[in-house]
Structure 1
Amino acid sequence: MRAFTDSPMNATAFSSVAVQPVAIARPTLLRNAMIALGVVALHAGFIWTLQSGLRMRTETLLVTAEVLSQFVDPPVPRVAAPAPALPVSPSPRRPPAPSAQKKAIVKVPLQLQPPSLTVAAPTPALDTPLADGPPPLSSAPAAAIAGPAPASLARPPALQQPSSNADYLQNPKPAYPPQSERLGETGKVVYKVWIGPDGKAEHAELVTSSGFLRLDKAAYETVMRWRYVPGRRNGVAETMPFNVPINWELRN
């Protein structure tokens, strides 16, 4: 170690080795400073460009808005000059119609005029032949027209209703349904039966129900099986409706 420091050659070599790091460090710091300054300059330029661009855009938008407002202004409406008024010609006055005075003048002589003798003169002339001579010929047709009315208008048509009470019909009594009799079912049934000219039932319609289906059915079979006296109009038999009641009663 000592031999190394004492020689002059070794001292020079040691000094060169010690100074080399200092010489290398200076260019590196300078380069870093230049890079930092460049980055700051770029940022400053970008910010300035951005602000100037926004300012120009704001001014452009403001100018455009002003121009558009000038085009949107509505046109001033033109006021049309009023048309000259046409002269109104006075309507001609109509002369008053001679109504009241002339009518009064016409009615006065009619009211004051005495009745004419020509109207009263034929009256005794008509009375004289009626008292002495035969009746006039014109009275005969009037008497014929005012003669007795026909028989069809004077008398209503004779109407005979159907019936089921004739003795010769020999209609059997309705058979009481056994189940209804056992259950004690009672009631009244009314059927409207259309009876033909031959006295037979053509069809029937229920008018009043007993409240029990078995009793209504038994009554229907009974009225359709019975025979009837047909209804007649002016002596002629024809189909007519007839209400047939059937009472279902239980007797002890």
Structure 2
Amino acid sequence: MDRRLFIVIAVVGFHVLGLWALQTGLLRRAVELVVPVEVLAELIELPQPQVTPAPPPPQPQRKPVQKPVLPPQPVPKQAPQPIAIADPAPSALAPTGTTEPQPPAPPMLAPVVVAEPAPPAPPKIELPSSSADYLNNAPPPYPPLSKRLGEQGKVIVRAFIEVNGTASKAEIRTSSGFERLDATALQTVLKWRYLPGKRAGTPEAMWFNIPINFVLE
């Protein structure tokens, strides 16, 4: 009796505990935990081993087909054809006559080279002159002070000689080193008379260099 009573109490207790678990939600949580585990176990599968394909069997090599060699066929020989031979004797019907010799070809003439005319020679230029005797050009006077001081030297005066033989302007080209000698030479050149310069025989005004020496004796 005690054993039966214990079993009945245990069964009733389990039922009460189950009702209490349903009410409190413990059974529902347990079911939620168990179900995903089973689903995951079904979804996760073990990796399948990879199977490598077997290499294709080697293909048999084809032997080249040799063409049969045909024996050469004999070439038929052609019968010789008759050849026409010209008769060296002239025919009686052929026209007779004399042939005139052709005149020789005229000789080739060498090309004529026309020489270009030489350029005209430049016109002859004659420089002016002051040394003619009939011009009566007196020598330049020696400055007295330059004599006492012993000044001497060479002056080159550049003068513009007109067509009428006069010097219209003059300038010192090379100085003697002494102002008195240079001034005397410049005044003398402006007073002298000249033969005008010429270009191709025609008088022409032009510049002319006149040297004057001052030397103490």
Please give the TM-score of this superposition, normalised by the length of structure 1. 0.41
| Greater Rg over alpha carbons, structure | 2
- Structure having greater relative contact order (Cα 8 Å, sep ≥ 6): 2
Bigger fraction of residues in helix: 1
